[in-house]
Structure 1
């Protein structure tokens, strides 16, 4: 099993900075029964929410990076 590096810091109430080996991300929200929004340095945007029971919902999109042409 490979070892991984991941660290999460609470920088403000309801805001977390997540760092791993290749990127970083900011997560906001996720309060009581609310959605979480995550933006990654790689361009990934994720919205997720815990649902009652063992269920959850997640939608992930990747922003299109435009070249300088």
Structure 2
């Protein structure tokens, strides 16, 4: 079982800074609305919890440096 590193800091209410071994990301929103995550690698994710055992996620990756 590999070891992983991940740390989450709450900056403001509804804003979190996530740090792992390779990158960092900012997550905004949550609660009853959608969450938007933007990563330092150019990945953008929007997700939302739906009632019951359902969830929704849309991920878009963009190239950095262009």
TM-score range, shorter chain: over 0.9
Question: Once the 2 structures are TM-superposed, how far is the Cα of residue 63 of structure 1 from its aligned partner?
Answer: 1.6
| Residue correspondences, number | 65
Query: Could you give the per-residue CA deviations for residues 5-48 of structure 1, whole angstroms, max 9, x where no partner exists?
Result: 000000001000000000000000002x2000000000000000
Question: Once the 2 structures are TM-superposed, how far is the Cα of residue 64 of structure 1 from its aligned partner?
Answer: 3.1
Give the number of the structure whose alpha-carbon radius of gyration is greater.
1
Q: Which residue of 2 aligns with 1:3?
A: 3
**RMSD (Å) for aligned C-alpha atoms:** 0.7
Q: Distance in 1 between matches of 2:53 and 2:25?
A: 25
Q: Distance in 2 between matches of 1:64 and 1:43?
A: 6
- Runs (4+) of structure 1 moved beyond 6 Å? none
Q: Which residue of 2 aligns with 1:49?
A: 48
Tell me the TM-score normalized by structure 2. Answer: 0.94
Which structure 2 residues correspond to residues 1-69 of structure 1 after superposition, within 5 A? 1-31=1-31, 33-65=32-64, 66=66
